[in-house]
Amino acid sequence: MLGQQPKDFDVVTNATPEQVKKLFRNCRLIGRRFRLAHIVFGREIIEVATMRGHHEAQEDKNQISQSSEQGQLLRDNVFGSIEEDAERRDFSINALYYSINDFCIYDYANGLAAIQAKQIELIGDPETRYREDPVRMLRAVRFATKLDMSIAPKSEKPITALASLLDNIPPARLFEEVLKLFLNGKAEANYLMLRQYGLFKSLFPELDKILDKNPDGLEAEFIQQMFQNTDKRINADKKVTPAFIFAALLWFPLLERADKIKQQEQLSYFDAFAQAMNKVLSENAQHIAVPKRFTLGARDIWHIQQRLDKRAGQRAYRLTQQPRFKAAYDFLLLRVDAGEQQHIELAQWWTQYLSQDINGQKEMVKTLGHQGGPKPRKRPRRRTTKKPAE
């Protein structure tokens, strides 16, 4: 209806998950919080949800609903009619039903009017709905930027006050939501809106503190430039690894922690940097559970930043053979673009080095002398003893 290609369609039925499983041998039931049926056709999985009902006065013991003290839904296996299911949907634009019986769209929550008004609005009382599932605040941001809409005033009002409820969301689920926010071609707009509503603090609290101290500084420029570059690559159908995004988002907390450890424990900067990496990634995992394959990638990017000025001998060539070198080189360029003037010459050297053939690269390394590498040891002079005159 908006002229965009839908990512997917939700399939919904009035059959319970158990009834769906009886109909399809290739079906398996998943989920505790929301019971769903996965019907497998080769590599394709059709996810089927049963229409949800209201929680009040449920007589069926097999239908389970459970909420936390903050109002967050922990179990939601209560089934009902299509009208009840529409009321249970989060946003009015998500409560449009396309029937394969008559090929018509059914609108139970004024979703068509919301589309025409270009507004993202919650169904029901916004505060109650956000408390049921705080991730809806992140979804509101993502839908607004993706569909070029605004969040309706009534739905927007409680977000800042309720932003801290995201702390109750499992870190693994937040990782998936962060990927949706930052890998959809609208990363910069999502980042700015998350900051506006105070949602970014629950995702990256240490970076948020740094940005609050100096909102117009190098750190803010670095992060915004990173998201701009990410959007350009995704919109050009180029690959973006989450490892690079998390390496950038945790870079300044890492530097701050390394300086602190170096002063407190009187370590070399290299050792302090290594300790800081472990602590920053460990603390971040309490908020967002980043899989190890991406944290290892972020570590490699950080490590290579420490070695980029060590170019003498075979070091430059060996560094370019590292799997994450290209990402680390892009990371250096990002630092320079954000305002790290002290690394301009280093970035220019690597850019020229990568454009040369093998002979050109060897010549560039020769002209460095012993810059960035260990100085050759001087051979001790042999003592010569004069023979006594006869």
pLDDT tens digits for 328-363? Answer: 999 999 999 999 999 999 999 999 999 999 999 999
35 lies in which domain range?
1-88
- 3-state DSSP assignment of residue 121: coil
In a domain, 14, yes or no: yes
Query: Kind and range of the H or E element at 28?
Result: strand 27-30
Q: For residue 325, what pLDDT is reported? A: 96
Q: Which of the following is catalytic: 85, 90, 133, 231? A: 90
pLDDT tens digits for 59-97? Answer: 554 444 444 555 454 455 688 899 998 988 899 998 999
In a domain, 176, yes or no: no
In a domain, 42, yes or no: yes
In a domain, 29, yes or no: yes
Q: For residue 7, what pLDDT is reported? A: 80
In a domain, 212, yes or no: no
Per-residue pLDDT band at 372 (split at 50, 70, 90): very low
Q: For residue 382, what pLDDT is reported? A: 61
pLDDT tens digits for 7-37? Answer: 888 899 999 999 999 999 999 998 876 789 9
Q: Which of the following is catalytic: 10, 60, 125, 212? A: 10
Convert 105-141 to b/e letters by CB count within 10 Å (16 or more is b): eebbbebeebbeeebbbbbeebbebbbbbbbbbbbbb
Token representation of residue 334: 């990002």
In a domain, 169, yes or no: no
Q: For residue 384, what pLDDT is reported? A: 58
Q: Which of the following is catalytic: 8, 216, 237, 357? A: 8
CATH number at residue 6: 3.30.460.10
Q: How many angstroms separate the CA atoms of 352 and 354, rounded?
A: 6
CB 91 within 8 A of CB 112: no
pLDDT tens digits for 173-197? Answer: 999 999 999 999 999 999 999 999 9
pLDDT tens digits for 107-158? Answer: 999 999 999 999 999 999 999 999 989 999 999 999 999 999 999 999 999 9
Query: Is the predicted pLDDT of residue 297 greater than 90, yes or no?
Result: yes
In a domain, 58, yes or no: yes
Q: For residue 31, what pLDDT is reported? A: 84
CA angle 148, 86, 44 (to 5 degrees): 75
Cβ neighbours of residue 360 under 8 Å, at least 6 residues apart?
none
Is 10 in the active site? yes
Query: Is the predicted pLDDT of residue 55 greater than 70, yes or no?
Result: no
User: What total of structural domains would you count in the chain?
Assistant: 1
In a domain, 1, yes or no: yes
Query: Is the predicted pLDDT of residue 263 greater than 60, yes or no?
Result: yes
pLDDT tens digits for 202-251? Answer: 999 999 999 999 999 999 999 999 999 999 999 999 999 999 999 999 99
Q: For residue 247, what pLDDT is reported? A: 97
Facing residues of 260 across strands?
A: none
CB 214 within 8 A of CB 328: no
Rounded average pLDDT over 270-297: 95
Q: For residue 39, what pLDDT is reported? A: 95
Q: For residue 54, what pLDDT is reported? A: 74
Q: For residue 121, what pLDDT is reported? A: 95
Is 231 in the active site? no
- 3-state DSSP assignment of residue 67: strand
